[in-house]
Structure 1
Amino acid sequence: MISVLAQERLLGAALGCAFTGIVVFEERKSIYRSISDPHSPIRTQSQIKEPIFGKKYRSECAHLWNKAVDQTFRPMIEALSSRGW
């Protein structure tokens, strides 16, 4: 029987993979759409579409990710540190 902690980790991994897949798919779709029309005029800076997630969101997401990783692996790091690794 899988423990609750293992189930939470598997769920987190599955959701992370799904989220990453969606973002990669949308970015690729945007890239292919931008290069598929050879007769389109050169795009100016004002015509370039904003990414799916803005810069502020990406930086906040990275901060939360780093915080979660720190909290998850803190016991392992402390154990290794206490052994002199």
Structure 2
Amino acid sequence: MVLVDKRILGGGLALLVVGITLTISISTTMPVGQAGMTEEEAIDLMIAQQENEDYTTLSGILIGVGFLLILISFGARRKKGSAKREEKKPAE
């Protein structure tokens, strides 16, 4: 039996799914140029392509953090009695 922290696992899976979904949707909408573009249109195209690459990087970071949380969830175990905290009274 493997002990897993279900909240961390759920959060990791959610980040992983969102990251993969964003990567797929962003990669299908890559802006492309055409012949005979003016200099202003070419600059706008380069800016749009750079924004697309930046969004792809961010979605990759989401995937990485989600995967890391999934791995952490397998090692995060709650100790019995950890919720009980006793306060020490100051010595008088």
More helix per residue: 1
What TM-score do you get using the length of structure 1 for normalisation? 0.44
- Higher relative CO (Cα under 8 Å, sequence separation at least 6) belongs to 2
